[in-house]
Amino acid sequence: MLTTLLFTVIILVICVVLLAIQVIVKKGGKFPNTHVGGNKALREKGIYCAKTQHREAMKQKGLFERMNEIN
């Protein structure tokens, strides 16, 4: 039981180190931006994260405001 747990922890540590090797070795290295807003191709298509899309939708006037402008 203890050997299995120790073996699992060692494998996890090795995986984390291998995933972060570029960040650790490279001066000024950082993890890549995986956020939807950080993707240039999606921005060009007008696709943003849910929070940004919601904020943009709230900026638009609703039916009630538009009806009040007519009267």
d(CA 37, CA 43): 7
Nearest to 36 by CA among 23, 22, 53: 53
d(CA 46, CA 38): 12
pTM reported for the whole predicted model: 0.42
Bigger pLDDT: 2 vs 33: 2
Instruction: Give per-residue pLDDT as tens, 3-61.
Output: 999 999 999 999 998 888 877 787 777 777 778 878 888 888 888 888 888 888 778 87
The answer to whether residues 64 and 70 touch, using CB atoms and an 8 Å cutoff, is: no
Provide the sign of the torsion angle of the four alpha carbons 41, 47, 50, 55, taken in this order: positive
Half-sphere exposure of 52 (CA within 13 A, CB side): 9
